Structure 1
Amino acid sequence: MSKAQRTKSDRNMSARDKIREQQAAARAQERRKKVVTYTTAAVVAVAAVGLGVWYAASSSQSEQAGAGLAPITLQPDGSAVMAKAGVTQPVVDIYEDFQCPVCKELERVSGQTFKNLAAEGKAKVVFHPITIFSREPTKSNSVRAAAAARCVADGKQWMAFHDLIYKNQPAETVEGFKTDQLVEWGKDAGVTSPDFESCVTSQKHASAVLADSTKIMKDQAIEGTPTVKLNGTSMGEAAFSPQQLRDAVTKAAK
């Protein structure tokens, strides 16, 4: 091979080497781009999950007690209307059974929101204690509790008693809400009705509880408790999210 041929061959090899180096560099740069892209996507995904968890936690967090309770008016059918003077809309109806574990959970999670909304003048909140159970001992437990609540004449005392009943809710498989217990909880709630004890022990309102429960469930198409309605429309799971509950009621008030 002549010197000229070797020089030409060297130049060709050098060119090929440069091309290979450029291709290798391009591949390395592409790999770096992919790593950056995947890392960025992972960070965004983690951030999105974190935001979702934060939102879920914040929207389900129970509210703190406000300044106080709105006035509470007790009705002949055992319901309790909680609203500031002149507030008629929107209406939040809570159909509950004192023996219902899910009702207890609703009270734990959203009970304070119901009270705050009424106290802020943003809603008229109506509690409807009913009996939905047909089997024992849950049926009798429920009736005794609801009948005892009707023995309270003062609205503020009624709410304190209402909350204590849920706090002391028995298991569904045992006899509970015994009359002597209900009388004691009434004292703890500050109930001052002079005939409260005799009213509870005699279960004076038991028959009315059953009759009114049947009527309410039929008229309002109540299939289970708790059922929370906003202006007559069921709120579903939103009632268990204090933030969603507040947002829905606030929107309805506009």
Structure 2
Amino acid sequence: MIGIGAVTAAAAGVAMVVVVAARHGGERTVGAYDGALAPAVRQRDGSVAMAAAGVAKPVLELYEDFQCPACLSLEERQGGTIKELAAQGKARVVYRPFQLFQQEPLMSNSRRAANAAACAPAGRWVAYHDKLYANQPEEGTVGFTTPDLIRWAAEVGIRDAAFGACVRQYQRMKAVDQASAHAGRAGVNATPYLALNGAKVGDEALDSPDALKEAVADAAAGRPVPRRTAITGTLSARH
């Protein structure tokens, strides 16, 4: 089991809740979904939006850090459901990776992964997103090395020289810092963090695919989104 430690996102100015996670060796299976993905585009602010043609609302936003065990846990539970909602035209999904950790080696792991994700083309981005979580380093170890980030990209079809240069030269770090600042402005105060039309969803929707689908349906119908109890400046393990 991974120990829980204090985590502060200085750039975003937020306190986070870290969930305990376990690794059993090898590459994990995350975000399992068998259907076709909705098209993905990179937005002007650097985030990646995935939606069926013509779908603008409701907006389901996922704030995440590829090194964060809590984010991995959410991806394992709900990644497939999130893809399904976008593919079925029930939501516009916006992925907003940012840098969560401020202590080493987690901080550098986080920054390398976020930069690489920002370098990835939109057409392969979701596959690369899943590949990063499938290989999340154990907490306290050095990981997301540059050679691995480039190799994993090739495994999902990203093989151009421009991507490799972007990863090696940290060309998208300004975008990563801007994403962290955006998380703070958006009121992100704990992870896992999902928002529907700007409102943070409740714990039940984080844990249950059916509850998440119901919350999205409520948002589409204009009904209030059940909110998650705010946790600020504390540490907690979800079971």
| Unpaired runs of at least 5, structure 2 | 1-29, 222-239
Distance 1:110 1:196, change over 3 A: same
Alignment of 1:129-144 (within 5 A): 129-144=97-112
> Does 2:79 align with 1:111?
yes
Distance 1:186 1:64, change over 3 A: closer
Give distance in 2, aligned partners of 1:63 and 1:75: 22
Name the SS of the counterpart of 2:41 in structure 1: strand
Name the SS of the counterpart of 1:150 in structure 2: helix
- Mean CA deviation greater in 217-226 or 174-183: 217-226
Name the SS of the counterpart of 1:191 in structure 2: coil
Q: Is the 8 A contact 1:152 1:193 kept in 2?
A: no
Give the fraction of aligned pairs with identical amino acids, expressed as a percent.
Answer: 43
Partner of 1:158: 125
User: Which whole-Å deviations, capped at 9, do the CAs of 1:186-240 have from their partners, x for residues lacking one?
Assistant: 0011114441111111111123312331x21221011232210011111132222
Name the SS of the counterpart of 2:216 in structure 1: helix
The one-letter code sitting in structure 2 at the alignment partner of 1:211 is: Q
Structure having greater relative contact order (Cα 8 Å, sep ≥ 6):
2
Q: Is the 8 A contact 1:97 1:131 kept in 2?
A: yes
The one-letter code sitting in structure 2 at the alignment partner of 1:73 is: V
Partner of 1:83: 51
Partner of 1:210: 177
Give distance in 2, aligned partners of 1:79 and 1:63: 18
Distance 1:176 1:64, change over 3 A: closer
Q: How many residues align?
A: 191
Give distance in 1, aligned partners of 2:216 and 2:190: 22
Give distance in 1, aligned partners of 2:112 and 2:134: 16
The one-letter code sitting in structure 1 at the alignment partner of 2:126 is: M
The one-letter code sitting in structure 1 at the alignment partner of 2:165 is: S
Q: Per-residue deviation at 1:77?
A: 3.2
User: Which whole-Å deviations, capped at 9, do the CAs of 1:5-25 have from their partners, x for residues lacking one?
Assistant: xxxxxxxxxxxxxxxxxxxxx
Partner of 2:141: 174
The one-letter code sitting in structure 2 at the alignment partner of 1:95 is: Y
The one-letter code sitting in structure 2 at the alignment partner of 1:137 is: P
Greater Rg by CA:
1
Distance 1:113 1:160, change over 3 A: same
User: Which whole-Å deviations, capped at 9, do the CAs of 1:17-39 have from their partners, x for residues lacking one?
Assistant: xxxxxxxxxxxxxxxxxxxxxxx
- TM, length-normalised to structure 2: 0.75
Q: For the aligned residues, what is the CA RMSD?
A: 1.7
> Does 2:42 align with 1:65?
no
| Unpaired runs of at least 5, structure 1 | 1-61
Q: Per-residue deviation at 1:145?
A: 0.3
Give distance in 1, aligned partners of 2:153 and 2:31: 26
Partner of 1:248: 215
The one-letter code sitting in structure 2 at the alignment partner of 1:187 is: A
Give distance in 1, aligned partners of 2:73 and 2:57: 26
Runs of 4+ off more than 3 Å: none
Of residues 232, 235, 245, the one that matches 2:201 is 235
- TM, length-normalised to structure 1: 0.71
The one-letter code sitting in structure 1 at the alignment partner of 2:164 is: E
Q: Is the 8 A contact 1:70 1:83 kept in 2?
A: yes
Larger fraction in helix:
1
Give distance in 2, aligned partners of 1:172 and 1:76: 32
Alignment of 1:2-151 (within 5 A): 65-151=33-119
Give distance in 2, aligned partners of 1:63 and 1:175: 24
Partner of 1:226: 192
Q: Is the 8 A contact 2:206 2:212 kept in 1?
A: yes
Distance 1:131 1:64, change over 3 A: closer
